[in-house]
Structure 1
Amino acid sequence: MDGLSHALLGATLAQLPSPRRCPLGRNQRLWLGALGGLFPDIDYALFPWSPLEFLAYWHQGPTHSLLLAPLWAGLLALVLRLHPALRAQGRWLFLLLLVGILSHDLLDALTGYGTQLFYPLSRARFSADLLFVIDAYFTLLLGLCLAVLYRRPGRRLVLLPPLLYLGLLLGLKQLALYQGGAAVAIPQPFSPLHWQVIDPHRQQSLYLRLAPDPVAARVSSWLGYPGWRQGYQTGAGARWQPYGPSSADPDWQTEVDQAWRHPALRPFRDFARYPYLYRVEQREDERCVWFSDLRYDWPALPASFRYGLCHRADGDWRLYRMRYLSEWRQRL
């Protein structure tokens, strides 16, 4: 999830203890919960070192582990205890930071990326494919919860609206699976009423609209993606589209196969759950083959994670990535 949602959730949960039990003030609890909620994404510091290795192996790994969360909370608490105003509150520092960190880990597991919740005992990634990485409705509900709890700490029933929203998303996901007749449904940007349905066995996918969402249509147009809504189909007229790391053009198929099997692309193969050929292109004397993952492919928007290999007639393959929301490429 986005950083704002993580900070809001951590800050909200930090307001749950009764003021009679927790000696820390509301502002102190707010910042401690937000800090814990943001901390696991400190692993982004590794991104410049190797973007593809980070994507495949490092992100949402050790810092997102439920098993290691007490360690991170303890280390943060030790640092914060150096402040004179917090020196005597070691127990509450640890508990509020721990709650924030755990909330981050579990919230990320509701998205489609995949979180290593039990690292180092297991590197298995858990993803519920329930929340899109940015969900304005969910974030707004968290903000309202925090506003109420900040004024009246300890009122646990305030958390009911975001929990009900998650239940609504679960129901919508089941409806998308039923209408699409497939085993996988991926949340989409702008609206909980839009889903991508995937049949991994047949390597087919479709973009499904469960119901009109005029708010999402206006927001997507305002952000510069007016064609987003037209990319989704209703259940009755929906048509499946094939996907996969192969080309329909026989002139490119050999190079596509070579690029897909190249050792430099192994981290991407490990990362991608539903890989597909993004595009092939001829750049003067250079030919490039690009791949992406259906989890991060949406109508009218550039795919988030695009990695490819390029070569000249007399040269070896070279690994590149396209930057987010851009055609600018970076050699790796």
Structure 2
Amino acid sequence: MDPLSQGVLGASLSQSLSRKQHIVVAGILGLLAGMSPDLDVLIRSHDDPLLFLEFHRQFTHSLFFIPIGSLVCAWVLHPLIAKKRGLSFQQSWLYCTLGYSTHALLDSCTSYGTQLLWPFTNERYAWSTVSVIDPIYTLPILILVVLATFKRKTWLARLAFLWAVMYPTIGMIQRDRAVAAGWQLASERQHTQIKLEAKPSFANILLWKVVYETNDRYYVDAVRVGSTVKTYPGQSVPKLDVNRDFPWLDPNSQQAIDIERFRWFSNGYVAQDPDDKTRVIDVRYSIIPNQVKSLWSIKLSPSADMKSHVEYHTHRDSSPESREEFFGMLFD
């Protein structure tokens, strides 16, 4: 989730359980602690472009790391912010813990994947009930937290936290409706599905991307779940077969290892890019929800040596035509 959403959610919970005289500092501690797990984005390597994919939403986002992460936040923030305002270290740690604890659970509501139970498993939990950026989710929380801060009213913060819980719950209902529509589409095509997922498109829970897998292909469609359900049939792409798609690739090379790392990150939804045969794409994400054009990919090189890593690329299609097509689906 974006940093603003993480911060105001953390602030709403810490303010909800604070005393009236502490509501301002509790909000600040919850805000900063709520954003802090994303400092793991600093774990990067110039030589290994996929390293950040392995560490982002890993140990700092584990439920088992909450006591440690919040304690570090308290050690840093208590002398800087809370001590001079009369809070004990224990109170600072409590507010930091409340803020920190919201982060991983909110991230798990997106479709990116969060390692909630690391180090016991590296499974990436993704409930896909809210988009990574969604102003309809964030703005009410932000407004209520600001009002709670200036008016010193904890009930406003509690209302903000209530909205923060209700919206993903609505998203869960919407997701299940999109999944049902996806199964219906696959059945009409007489496809035998191995697995199927629905993910909210950018900044809303009205238009969804449905991806399902058959024995040899991935199919992507868009589903709008409003008062009625409308489907926008989309594209398909062959599943990645390394031996077929990259016959020149040495299976012991670093590039071959990187493909499997990218496959793990992508939950298996990988394919050769139809527009560039040297790329492997994550089929799950695209700006236009019924298209295969991925938001990120890895690029291989036939001339690379055995120890060379793949390149990692992001793709942003912000053309007027793409925006028009997206909003045409969103607003029907």
TM-score under structure 1 normalisation? 0.76
Contact preservation (8 Å) 1:77, 1:93: yes
1:114, distance to aligned residue in structure 2 (A) = 1.4
> Residues 80-119 of structure 1: matches in 2 within 5 Å?
80-83=77-80, 84-85=83-84, 88-119=87-118
- Provide the rounded CA distance (Å) in 2 between the counterparts of 1:177 and 1:191: 16
Residue 34 of structure 2 corresponds to residue 37 of structure 1? yes
Partner residue of 1:271?
A: 265
Cα drift, residue 81 of structure 1: 3.4
Q: Does 1:189 align with 2:185?
A: no
Per the alignment, do residues 190 and 35 of structure 1 end up closer, same or farther by CA in structure 2, a change over 3 Å counting? closer
Contact 2:29/2:77, CA 8 A, preserved across alignment: no
Q: What amino acid maps onto 1:93 in structure 2? A: S
2:292, 2:144 → 1: CA distance?
A: 32
Cα deviations across residues 266-308 of structure 1 (Å, max 9, x unaligned)? Answer: 3212212211212454xxxxxx610111222232796332102
CA RMSD of aligned residues (A): 3.0
The whole-number CA distance in structure 1 between the counterparts of 2:139 and 2:69 is 28
Q: AA paired with 1:40?
A: P
1:321 and 1:234 mapped to 2: Cα distance?
Answer: 35
Deviation, 1:234, is 3.5
Report the residue type matching 1:136 in the other structure: P
In structure 1, distance between residues paired with 2:74 and 2:260: 39
- 1:53 matches 2:67: no
CA drift of 1:176 comes to 0.8
Change (3 A) 1:191 1:301: farther
CA contact (8 A) 1:245 1:275 kept: yes
The equivalent position to 1:290 in structure 2, one of 279, 288, 299, is 279
Offset of residue 131 of structure 1 = 1.5
**Does the 8 Å contact 1:13/1:99 carry over to 2?**
yes
Contact 2:210–2:223 (8 Å) recurs in 1: no
Aligned position for 1:121: 120
Contact 2:64/2:117, CA 8 A, preserved across alignment: yes
Q: Which whole-Å CA distance do the structure 1 matches of 2:31 and 2:18 have between them?
A: 18
2:224 maps to what in 1? 210
Runs of at least 5 residues in structure 1 that lack an aligned partner in the other structure: 214-232, 248-252, 282-287, 327-332
Q: Deviations over 1:297-320 (max 9, x none)?
A: 2327963321020124x9777622
Aligned twin of 1:221: none
Q: What does residue 234 of structure 1 align with?
A: 230
Matches within 5 A, 1:252-267: 254-259=244-249, 262-267=256-261
TM-score, normalized by length of structure 2?
0.76
What is the aligned partner in structure 2 of residue 177 from structure 1? 179
Q: How much does 1:3 deviate?
A: 0.7
Mapped to 2, the partners of 1:267 and 1:129 lie a distance apart of 22
Indicate the percent of aligned positions where both proteins have the same amino acid.
24
Task: Name the CA distance, whole Å, in 1 between partners of 2:163 and 2:87.
Answer: 35
State whether residues 34 and 100 of structure 2, in contact with CA within 8 Å, keep that contact through their aligned partners in structure 1. yes
The correspondence for 2:74, drawn from 74, 77, 80, is: 77
